[in-house]
Amino acid sequence: MIIFTLSCADRIKSEKAGFGIDLVDSSNYSSQQVSVEIFKVKNDHFAYVAGETENMEIYSIDQTTGSLAFLEKYQVANQWGGVRALTNVNIKNNNFLVLGNKADNSLEVHKILDSGKIFRINAVYDSDTTFIDEIVTIHNIKIKDRNFIYAGGLDKGLSCFEISENGDLHHIQSIEDDDALFIHGVIGMSSLVIDGKNYIITGAFFDGGISCFEIMENGHLKHVSNVKDNNLLFLNGTFPVNTIQLGDQNYVLVGHRHNLHYATENAEPEYHGDGINVFKINGEGQLNLHNTIKDTDKIRLKGSTRIEILKVNEKKAFVFIGSRDDKGVQICTFGEDGLLRPIKTLDLGYAIYNGMTLKKIDNKWYLLIGAYDKNVLEMYAINFTS
């Protein structure tokens, strides 16, 4: 196993055969970046970047080079603390940007124009029957002809809304956290379809655990299984959650922000390191620990806040793990055996606080990264052979 750490000022190429990552553009941004996403509108791609400020910035992306061009600054929130979640929903050729407005405790729908610019058309605010106070995470699921938005944050529960073709939001269900669930402080969410059943997996930042729910056709959630943190896992301050299917295997990858960094209600008495947990999930939604990978001086996983997965084929994927404390990206391969194998470290010199996304544009893969502690937005091109 060989790990390479290079300055981002250099042309970054892995000495592992068949993989390379190159910086193609860098831009200044006006605030601490938390949410970075790329959406396709008709034949064009746009980057939507938000963070602690009340404003969002939008960039057009060159289809050939991946370079960024500033398009507009758009006010979202009414106060500092801004946007912590972004997703794109397309319903009958209507493109919507759905976002979690942490500063205003609201779930909002914005129309995306063909130009990439946006305007708000609808919003719901936290109430006694919902759990979107300090909303930081949203995840959209389509079941048949219905589109559901699952929303969580630094609240004691999880809420579901349905979005209509005109962008209206309708409350479907809210589930309150209790001793049997792990949904207090939902920061990470991901989903899978297994044997025709839809599942959503949530990470609980304050609870220190993950939960799996089966999603019914009406959007309601049925609790299936849990995994609680222990001294062999890295779930204290659960943060990023992502899923992948390779062959007939289904995996859940989970990272965390340890109580060394944040106080959590179930904080461990002793720090045993930072790492990534890999779980297998079966056709009944049961989660079972498969393996873990721990940080070292060369494997950079401290304070992981984002996991992005590039699936090459049914036997291989690349996993990009963004970190706040190690200030970079740990890149691994991931195969049918469910093992993360580190191949490269991207040493950026700035913290990633969820602000990282992966997108295929014109048959090329790009990684967009936003700095939390510096005013930098960077685009990387990913090159590999299958």
Domain positions in the chain are 5-384
Neighbours of 68 (CB within 10 A): 22
**Contact 120/104 with Cβ under 8 angstroms?**
no
How high is the pLDDT of residue 65? 96
Residues 6+ apart with CB under 8 A from 311: 244, 246, 317
- Sheet (strand 83-91) strand order: 83-91, 94-101, 106-112, 118-125
Residues 6+ apart with CB under 8 A from 127: none
- Tens of each residue's pLDDT in the chain, 386 residues: 223 333 333 333 444 458 999 999 999 887 789 999 999 999 999 999 999 889 999 999 999 999 999 999 999 988 888 898 999 999 998 999 999 999 999 999 999 999 999 999 999 999 999 999 999 999 999 999 999 999 999 999 999 999 999 999 999 999 999 999 999 999 999 999 999 999 999 998 888 899 999 999 999 999 999 999 988 999 988 999 999 999 999 999 999 987 666 666 666 667 888 999 999 999 999 999 999 999 999 999 999 999 999 999 999 999 999 999 999 999 999 999 999 999 999 999 999 999 999 999 999 999 999 999 998 999 999 999 87
Residues 6+ apart with CB under 8 A from 8: 23, 346, 347, 348, 349, 378
Of the CA atoms within 13 Å of residue 222, those in its CB half-sphere come to 10
Tokens of 32: 């601490």
For the chain, the residue count is 386
How high is the pLDDT of residue 366? 98
- For residue 255, give the nearest of 207, 300, 193, 203 by alpha carbon: 203
**Contact 126/133 with Cβ under 8 angstroms?**
yes
Residues 6+ apart with CB under 8 A from 197: 214, 283, 285
- For residue 278, give the nearest of 221, 361, 336 by alpha carbon: 336
- For residue 378, give the nearest of 1, 59, 43, 131 by alpha carbon: 59
Neighbours of 170 (CB within 10 A): 12
pTM (2 decimals)? 0.94
Q: What gap in Å lies between CA 351 and CA 33, rounded to an integer? A: 10
Of the CA atoms within 13 Å of residue 205, those in its CB half-sphere come to 24
Rounded to the nearest 5 degrees, what angle is found at the Cα of 315, between the Cα atoms of 198 and 143?
15
How high is the pLDDT of residue 264? 62
Neighbours of 110 (CB within 10 A): 23
Secondary-structure percent of the chain, ordered helix, strand, coil, rounded to 5:
0, 60, 40
What Å distances lie between residue 52 and 79, 81, 303, CA to CA?
Answer: 9, 4, 19
Q: Is the dihedral of CA 226, 232, 236, 239 positive or negative?
A: negative
User: Which CATH number is correct for 5-384, 3.30.230.10, 2.40.50.140, 2.130.10.10, 2.170.16.10?
Assistant: 2.130.10.10
